[in-house]
Structure 1
Amino acid sequence: MKSAFFILLLLISQTTFAQNTDSITLVKAKWQKQKIAPKTKLITHHFNQKNLFAANQYISYIEIKRKGNAPVFAFGNEIKEKKTTSTFGKELHAFAAINGTFFDVANGGSVDFIKMDGVIIKQNVLDKNGNRARHQKAAIVIDQGKLSLKKWDNSPNWENSLTEKDVMLSGPLLTFNLQNEQLDTTSFTKARHPRTAVGIKPGGNIILLTVDGRQENAAGMSLYELTSLMRWLGCTSSINLDGGGSTTLWVSSYAENGVVNFPSDNKKWDHEGERKVANVILLKKKQ
């Protein structure tokens, strides 16, 4: 019995040590920073020595300060047609965009609730037992161009009662008001994949983030690892969006095609592998 207890203590101490090492690695990294708009920076780094979560990782994110002439947020959505994140951004006159929530890959259209300009475009697609998915238990809401996160209150029609004109359900929530959310133990949670996330910092700064994966140069992250990453970047609330081949961060002024990260849908380490998606989160300059 004593030996089992000591083994448990050893495992806990090893995990804690690894997390501390990873957090220090993240903080001390020489991140590339570029101003792309007022109050807005693009920040990237390639951990290429297998030195973050014992793996190669490529992380890209935009940080937006919530003050003054900061840009405004908006959604882009198509009911049936699918478009690349960069196409959404260009057509809707944004200067930056990330892919949004989960969608029907075969037929197009979101599988989660979306409301734009006060009009409900899509209700949740529930399972055969009428239960909502984990990614239908939180919402990204936009009110007069300002973005925030909401948590499901367990009522059946919660999303329909939200007063904001622009609502997009996604998830799972990773952290909410400083508290880590309980994650399930499915392979979706535990396995490493490309990930897309939104985070909110204490002063109101917003982070739009992608983590690349399914590549030798970038392993991707589990949702546990993504939770830690968002906490280490200073987020007190954060949410997971659609990931995998959909994961894309686009900035109009960036390089050739504007794609900052290395989308995995073409299985190549380049900026050409965007998957067509049904919806996005946009950044537009304040008028």
Structure 2
Amino acid sequence: MKSLFRVLLLTLISFNVYAQDLDSLSFSKAKWKKTSVAKKTKLFTYQFADSSLFTANQYVSFVEIKNHKKAPGFFIGFDKKELIKTAVFAQKYQAKAAVNGTFFDIKNGGSVDFIKVNDTIINQNREEKNNIRALHQRAAVVINNHLLNIKKWDGSDTWENTLTDQNVMLSGPLLILNNEKEKLDSVPFNKLRHPRTAIGIKPDGTVLMLTVDGRQQNSAGMSLFELTKIMKWLGCSSAINLDGGGSTTLWVSGYGENGVVNFPSDNKKWDHEGERKVANVIFIKAKP
């Protein structure tokens, strides 16, 4: 009986390793469509069809911004109360590209996570039940002199208010930090597939602003465990999850009819019209 159990266990492990190898192979073989966005900045898009990635169809798009003095700089766009589409935010700020930001109050507007812009605090964290810090308040995108980085919560109650960075957007969960995968809780938000938005940083400082579509036949969406894998496969040494679901939007100046690259899911159609209004964005444009 023990021998049979060992055989079954080894078979299961071998199958999982084989499946992971197939996924990484499928990802590595993707022939990305590449479009120039700005100096040292490109857009990459690819449709994984025939259930070829994580046994599902997936549509992945990202903007890659090189760590170069000629590349655009990073900024946080926001409104304290009003909810605005990512595309509208981007046009307002004359951006080259933008993704939706962190989590917000869909009924009353405003970020539910700490936001600081140009050394001015815009929003404080809204406390969760039992005063437990939310999973999306345990890491941050920080921007100094238009350069982007990712930081991890230090466990203190006042962490975000003591950060000296010029611009801060709390979000999460954190996926990878300094080449180490973060431990993710097995909660439904992490395990289930949804549209996702993420920021990743490569060892050389190159930044990826990425979206994965979901809730569609053409793109199932990803769990955070799957999202972590593709961020690693893309070469990121650090990565953070932003708000996803119906909020997930990647916008690029001059792209298509309305600039929306991905297929936002709020209208339940496979088109570029289903944007959800959000409270904040991360965008790039020429440095001042």
TM-score (norm 1): 0.98
1:200-242 alpha-carbon deviations (Å, 9 max, x no partner): 0011100000000000010000111000010000001100000
2:266 is equivalent to residue 265 of structure 1 = yes
Shift of 1:6: 2.9
Q: Which residue of 2 aligns with 1:248?
A: 249
Q: Which residue of 2 aligns with 1:120?
A: 121
Q: Which residue of 2 aligns with 1:201?
A: 202
The amino acid of 2:140's aligned partner reads A
Which SS does the other structure have where 1:129 is aligned? Answer: helix
Distance in 2 (CA, whole Å) between partners of 1:2 and 1:172 is 40
The amino acid of 2:270's aligned partner reads W
2:45 is equivalent to residue 44 of structure 1 = yes
Distance in 2 (CA, whole Å) between partners of 1:59 and 1:71 is 22
Distance in 2 (CA, whole Å) between partners of 1:13 and 1:177 is 29
- Runs of 4+ in structure 1 over 6 Å off: none
2:2 is equivalent to residue 11 of structure 1 = no
Shift of 1:11: 1.9
Distance in 2 (CA, whole Å) between partners of 1:131 and 1:21 is 39
The amino acid of 2:191's aligned partner reads K
Identity within the alignment, %: 60
Shift of 1:10: 2.0
Distance in 1 (CA, whole Å) between partners of 2:228 and 2:145 is 28
Distance in 2 (CA, whole Å) between partners of 1:2 and 1:118 is 63
The amino acid of 1:239's aligned partner reads I
Moved more, 11-20 or 245-254: 11-20
Q: Which residue of 2 aligns with 1:21?
A: 22
Q: Which residue of 1 aligns with 2:90?
A: 89
Distance in 2 (CA, whole Å) between partners of 1:10 and 1:156 is 46
Q: Which segments of 5 or more consecutive residues in structure 1 lack a partner in the other structure?
A: none
The amino acid of 2:66's aligned partner reads K
Distance in 2 (CA, whole Å) between partners of 1:6 and 1:202 is 41
1:145-204 alpha-carbon deviations (Å, 9 max, x no partner): 000000011111111111111000000001111111111111111111000000000111
Which SS does the other structure have where 1:189 is aligned? Answer: helix
1:61-94 alpha-carbon deviations (Å, 9 max, x no partner): 0001001211000001111100000000001111
Q: Which residue of 2 aligns with 1:156?
A: 157
RMSD: 0.9
Q: Which segments of 5 or more consecutive residues in structure 2 lack a partner in the other structure?
A: none
The amino acid of 1:283's aligned partner reads I
Moved more, 7-16 or 244-253: 7-16
The amino acid of 1:47's aligned partner reads F
1:99-131 alpha-carbon deviations (Å, 9 max, x no partner): 000001111111111111101111111123111
Matches within 5 A, 1:133-148: 133-148=134-149
Task: Say how many residue pairs are matched.
Answer: 287
Distance in 1 (CA, whole Å) between partners of 2:76 and 2:16 is 39
Distance in 1 (CA, whole Å) between partners of 2:112 and 2:9 is 41
The amino acid of 2:4's aligned partner reads S
Shift of 1:24: 1.2
2:179 is equivalent to residue 174 of structure 1 = no
Which SS does the other structure have where 2:217 is aligned? Answer: coil
Shift of 1:27: 1.2
Shift of 1:277: 0.3
Q: Which residue of 2 aligns with 1:225?
A: 226
Distance in 2 (CA, whole Å) between partners of 1:248 and 1:224 is 20
Matches within 5 A, 1:55-134: 55-134=56-135
Distance in 2 (CA, whole Å) between partners of 1:53 and 1:189 is 15
Distance in 2 (CA, whole Å) between partners of 1:149 and 1:188 is 21
Distance in 2 (CA, whole Å) between partners of 1:12 and 1:206 is 34
Distance in 1 (CA, whole Å) between partners of 2:12 and 2:172 is 30
Distance in 1 (CA, whole Å) between partners of 2:33 and 2:193 is 24
Q: Which residue of 2 aligns with 1:282?
A: 283
Shift of 1:4: 2.8
